[in-house]
Amino acid sequence: MIATVLGTRTDVLSRPALHSFLENSGPRLFIAWLFMVVSGLAWLGFVVGLRSILPAGPSADLFGVGAVLAQALTWCGASLNTAAAAPDARGVSLPVFNALGEAAHLTTAAGVAATGLALLGLAARGANVLWSTTFAKATGAAGVLLILTAVISPLSLPVLVLWTTTAAILVLRARTAAPVSVSAEG
């Protein structure tokens, strides 16, 4: 969420306003991009961990592929959003700046929709193994909601944060309640 707040761009309507925006917001956009990269790595770690405890099958594969695709698209969107903020790119024209912003928005929206697709894959079968049927249904509902609201970031971001936090807590509780024994076989 920090990356989203920091990476928010204002509407720039003139060349002098663009120059001023880039001079004043360059470091802030770089920090947003950095937060996006770090949070993306954490998300991929969560996905790999979750995927490793799911039973093999098409729904688990859809979850894994969808989640990785979503992160790749989100990273591309973050990079496009901050591309004009680099010190050597400050001479970018206003139409190019606006095109980068629109491409960033659409790419990030595609990432959110791919996350929804991943959650649908998880809800299809794998979620019942990890937690209650109620949360499995909520996972499917979150997936559908993310797909339908991908372009409306203010609505999709809280859904994703709420689902990820709840899923992480449920997985951690399940793992601490029933610790996995490790055999000494080599």
Question: Taking Cα atoms as reference points, which of 69, 54, 47 lies closest to residue 124?
Answer: 54
Q: For residue 122, what are the CA distances in angstroms to 105, 135, 139, 140, 162?
A: 26, 11, 7, 8, 16
In order, the DSSP letters of 33-58 are: HHHHHHHHHHHHHHHHHHHHHSPSSH
pLDDT at 3 over 70: no
Read off the pLDDT of residues 40-49 as tens digits, 9 standing for 90 and up.
888 888 888 8
Spatial separation of the C-alpha atoms in residues 81 and 174, rounded to whole Å: 38
pLDDT digits (tens, 9 = 90+) for 55-105: 788 887 888 888 889 888 888 888 887 777 766 666 778 888 788 888 888
> Does the pLDDT of residue 183 top 80, yes or no?
no
DSSP 85: G
Q: Does residue 185 register a pLDDT over 50?
A: no
Closest CA to 29 of 75, 83, 72, 106: 83
pLDDT of residue 88: 65
- Band (168; pLDDT cuts 50, 70, 90): confident
- Copy the structure tokens of residue 158: 């809280």
What number is the average pLDDT over the span 10-24? 74
pLDDT tens digits along 120-166? 888 886 556 666 777 788 888 888 888 888 877 677 778 878 888 88
Residue 9 contacts residue 81 (beta carbons within 8 Å)? yes
Q: Are 153 and 161 in contact (CB under 8 A)?
A: no
What pTM was computed for the model? 0.74
More confident residue, 6 or 96: 96
